[in-house]
Amino acid sequence: MSGADFVPFSLVPLLIGCLAAVACALPGNFLILRRQALIGDAISHVVLPGIVMAFLVTGTIAAIPMLIGAAAAALIAVAAIEGIRRFGRIEPGAAMGVVFTSMFAAGVLILELSDTSGVHLDVEHALYGNLESLIWLDATGWASLTDPVALAGLPPELGRIAVVALLIVALLALFWRPLAISTFDEGFAATLGLPVGAIGLGLVIVSAIAAVAAFDAVGSIIVIAMFICPPAAARLVTDRLVHQVLWSVAFALISAVLGYVLAGYGPLWLGFGNSVSAAGMIATVSGVILALTAIAGPKRRRI
Amino acid sequence: MFLDALTFQLGYNASLVGLGAALLGVAAGATGTFLFLRKRALVSDAISHATLPGVALAFIAMSLAGFDGRNLGILLAGSAVSAAAGLIAVQWLSSQTRLSEDAAIGAVLSVFFGFGIVLLTVIQNMATSGQAGLEGLLLGSTAGMLFSDAVLIAAGGAAALALVLVFRRPMTIASFDPGYARSAGIDVGRTDLIMMGLVMGVTVIGLKVVGLILIVALLIIPPVAARFWTERADRVALIAGGIGGVSGWVGAAISASTPNLPTGPIIVLTAFGLFCASLLFAPARGLVAAGFRHRRFQRGVHIRQGLLSLAQGHPIYEPLTIRLLTAERLARADGVATDDGRARAARALRDETRWQVARRTPEFELAAARYDGLTQIEDVLTPDQIAQIDAQIGPPKGVPA
């Protein structure tokens, strides 16, 4: 594979896929340990109405309003779930099910009712993204990586997901100890004077930011898969939190690279003409990794 | 147009679809009740997303064999097979590994759905006809439905409903108390299997009408809404069935009269509207009723404490207490008791003093446990017992003006 082919067409989607996978897998580790894995599922559903509303208000597909809209929708969803759980005395799983399906339905309906034909916003895109279309047309080969003119033509999604991934890594490093303590023993964390409620909410907000940034580039299905599969697989490999986080990053990267390559080139190897959905394939590979660790992972059993 | 659709005037197919959606809603609401009571509502999310690869594989297999890939019966059979695989994967992951059930649900739903998306893009590349029908299974579409499809949905909804009716007793007992169910001779494992089988059946039938992303809403929202109205399991199932049925019926009617809208979201939002109404206005557990109860309680406490202060000549600083007392004409705005207020205050003080004595007397220990500052002692003790207490207190004293 020559640089003239690879750099313009595959490098950027590959990078975006990797960054999105890592950005989702990192908070996913803590969601899994807190038994809140399905928060990721809920968030990635409610992002849709937020983005649609942001589009209807501003009239354009711009990054910042969409990010704000999606974050607002995520917060509304969390508040609604908590409200139904507390005031209605309904168990959290069912409360979540009520809120995210209704908000997703509202998003689909608004999308179908409003005129979005002029812009690239539809339900299919929301579900499985458009990783393959994020190509870097200004690039001619590896040399373009040092060419400022060509670099200016990079798809904006790359910059956004890179910033979000860095932000998540930084937040994780900064709040590692309180996050770890409150995840494993909330009562102990509270006696130490840690604001456990704020830490829990912060984790949800960080997850929402990761979901929105990844959603923008790769669609909600990868978001859910990456929140859950790599951390779950890592959980079956090790008992130590640091190792689990590192393993989950490794699994996320393997899923993204292998999934992208299999989707782009796998059908060609099998003699078919066209590629298949990269987002779907990345989710599939992460599932295969989880299946392998569930069958043979050293720490797969309950103690 | 909408009214025509509601009253089944829009032609044979649309009527069948409306009937099918209503039956499906009833079956989904009733089935979902047991899932909800078993606290496994979100398992249905994994099951519904897991149908996609089966649908796509069935389509590919039929196309390769040279048939029209849109045969709904075979697509639904394929979806049932992969939904079962997804369900087995959830069970296996949560029982055989250390992963909790929610992680297993999330992993299965995202991986199966992702693999389904891969297969959908394979189908797009196959350049065969009839692919548009598959997109409709994501969000539901009743427009242009074939007569045979409508019959299939109506019959499937009726069959699911009949099965719920047959198995309602064991499912109720097993979802409340698996241990008791086992001792009562009910095979809990098999009952769970029947429950999950019903969930799968409802999901598969609902694919065409509601779509696989939102069918889970029809299993979760009606039971949660119904839970606000009653504390009895059989009535929850009944009301949930009603809410689901109305949602399906109204949603299908709206969708039939405005053909460009996907059916699923409309049905789900109808159900959500009924949920909101239940959350607000249900008599015992609704928010409005709870608000009224809270106000009444607050009022009772303030008036009682205000009367006790009047009786003992203490000044009242709490503005709400003064407001409530003046509204009842028990005190003036400056906190001085009216004649009526003095009489009531004397009675309140007497009641309070009787309670104090009763709580000191071991003989009245059980009754005294009901002291909450609001209950009148006459409601708890007999006149003889009160006379016995009064003998210790002495005659009534005047209230300082």
Is the residue at A277 inside a domain? Answer: no
pLDDT digits (tens, 9 = 90+) for A99-154: 999 999 998 888 888 766 555 566 666 777 777 777 777 777 777 777 777 777 77
Is the residue at A298 inside a domain? Answer: no
pLDDT digits (tens, 9 = 90+) for A272-292: 767 788 888 999 999 999 999
| Percentage of chain B modeled with pLDDT above 70 | 93
User: Is B265 in contact with A106 (Cβ distance < 8 A)?
Assistant: yes
Decide if B148 touches A, using CB distance below 8 A.
no
Nearest by CB: B114 against A88, A112, A284: A284
**List of chain B residues whose C-beta atoms are within 8 Å of the C-beta of residue A86:** none
Nearest by CB: A280 against B117, B214, B216: B117
pLDDT digits (tens, 9 = 90+) for A248-278: 999 999 999 999 989 888 777 776 767 788 8
Q: What is the pLDDT of residue B57?
A: 92
Q: What is the pLDDT of residue B380?
A: 83
**List of chain A residues whose C-beta atoms are within 8 Å of the C-beta of residue B214:** 101, 104-105
- Name the least confident of A38-52, B131-145, B297-311: B131-145
Nearest by CB: B106 against A37, A108, A276: A37
User: Is A282 in contact with B98 (Cβ distance < 8 A)?
Assistant: no
Query: Sign of the C-alpha dihedral, residues B237, B242, B245, B246?
Result: negative
Q: What is the pLDDT of residue A121?
A: 65
pLDDT band at B401 (very low <50, low <70, confident <90, very high): very low
Range of the domain at A15: 3-220
Q: What is the pLDDT of residue B156?
A: 84
**List of chain B residues whose C-beta atoms are within 8 Å of the C-beta of residue A32:** 99-100, 103
- Contact between B59 and B123 under an 8 Å Cβ cutoff? The reply is yes
User: Is A267 in contact with B36 (Cβ distance < 8 A)?
Assistant: no
- H or E segment to which residue B316 belongs: none
Of B347, B303, B349, residue with least CA distance to B328: B303
Q: What is the pLDDT of residue B8?
A: 67
Check pLDDT > 80 for residue B131.
Answer: no
Q: What is the pLDDT of residue B357?
A: 86
Cα B339 from Cα B319, distance rounded (Å): 21
Structural domains for chain B: 2-262 (1.10.3470.10), 288-393 (no CATH)
pLDDT digits (tens, 9 = 90+) for B59-86: 888 888 877 767 778 888 999 999 999 9
User: Is A41 in contact with B290 (Cβ distance < 8 A)?
Assistant: no
pLDDT digits (tens, 9 = 90+) for A141-181: 777 777 777 777 777 778 888 999 999 999 999 999 999 99
In total, chain B counts a number of residues equal to 401
Nearest by CB: A276 against B39, B103, B118: B118
- Contact between B84 and B199 under an 8 Å Cβ cutoff? The reply is no
Is the residue at A195 inside a domain? Answer: yes
Mean pLDDT of B231-245: 91
Q: What is the pLDDT of residue A69?
A: 86
Decide if B279 touches A, using CB distance below 8 A.
yes
Residue in chain A lying closest to B211 (CA): A105
Q: What is the pLDDT of residue B332?
A: 85
User: Is A40 in contact with B106 (Cβ distance < 8 A)?
Assistant: yes
Is the residue at A237 inside a domain? Answer: no
State the CATH number of the domain containing residue A140: 1.10.3470.10
Is the residue at A291 inside a domain? Answer: no
Cα B44 from Cα B50, distance rounded (Å): 10
Mean pLDDT of A83-106: 89
CA atoms within 13 A on the CB side of B354: 26
Q: To the nearest whole number, what is the mean pLDDT of chain B?
A: 85
**Could you please report the per-residue DSSP string of B235-275?**
HHHHHHHHHHHHHHHHHHHHHHHSTTS-HHHHHHHHHHHHH
pLDDT band at B247 (very low <50, low <70, confident <90, very high): very high
Report residue A33 as tokens.
């340990």
Is the residue at A248 inside a domain? Answer: no
| Percentage of chain B modeled with pLDDT above 90 | 24
**List of chain A residues whose C-beta atoms are within 8 Å of the C-beta of residue B114:** 128, 221-222, 225, 279-284, 286-287
pLDDT digits (tens, 9 = 90+) for B190-220: 888 888 989 998 888 888 888 888 889 999 9
**List of chain A residues whose C-beta atoms are within 8 Å of the C-beta of residue B36:** 91, 94
pLDDT digits (tens, 9 = 90+) for B286-315: 889 989 999 999 999 999 999 988 888 888
Which of B45, B49, B110, B221 best probes binding to A when mutated, by most A CB atoms within 10 angstroms? B110
Q: What is the pLDDT of residue A57?
A: 85
Check pLDDT > 70 for residue B183.
Answer: yes
When divided into structural domains, chain A yields a total of: 1
Is the residue at A13 inside a domain? Answer: yes
Decide if B49 touches A, using CB distance below 8 A.
no
Decide if B78 touches A, using CB distance below 8 A.
no
Residues in contact with B180: Cβ distance below 8 Å, sequence separation at least 6, in sequence order: B173
Of B223, B230, B224, residue with least CA distance to B285: B230
Of B265, B195, B109, residue with least CA distance to A228: B109
Is the residue at A79 inside a domain? Answer: yes
Cα A292 from Cα A236, distance rounded (Å): 10
CB count in 10 Å sphere of residue B395: 5
Nearest by CB: A109 against B110, B265, B285: B265
Report residue A190 as tokens.
């509270």
CA atoms within 13 A on the CB side of A254: 18
CB count in 10 Å sphere of residue A61: 16
What is the separation of C-alpha A82 from the centre of its chain, rounded to a whole number of angstroms?
23
Q: To the nearest whole number, what is the mean pLDDT of chain A?
A: 85
Check pLDDT > 50 for residue B223.
Answer: yes
Residues in contact with A185: Cβ distance below 8 Å, sequence separation at least 6, in sequence order: none
Which of A108, A128, A131, A218 best probes binding to B when mutated, by most B CB atoms within 10 angstroms? A108
User: Is B107 in contact with A232 (Cβ distance < 8 A)?
Assistant: yes
Q: What is the pLDDT of residue A207?
A: 87
pLDDT band at B38 (very low <50, low <70, confident <90, very high): confident
- Contact between B315 and B257 under an 8 Å Cβ cutoff? The reply is no
Collapsing DSSP to helix, strand or coil, B147 comes out as helix
- Contact between B247 and B218 under an 8 Å Cβ cutoff? The reply is yes
**List of chain B residues whose C-beta atoms are within 8 Å of the C-beta of residue A284:** 111, 114-115, 118
Which of A85, A99, A102 best probes binding to B when mutated, by most B CB atoms within 10 angstroms? A102
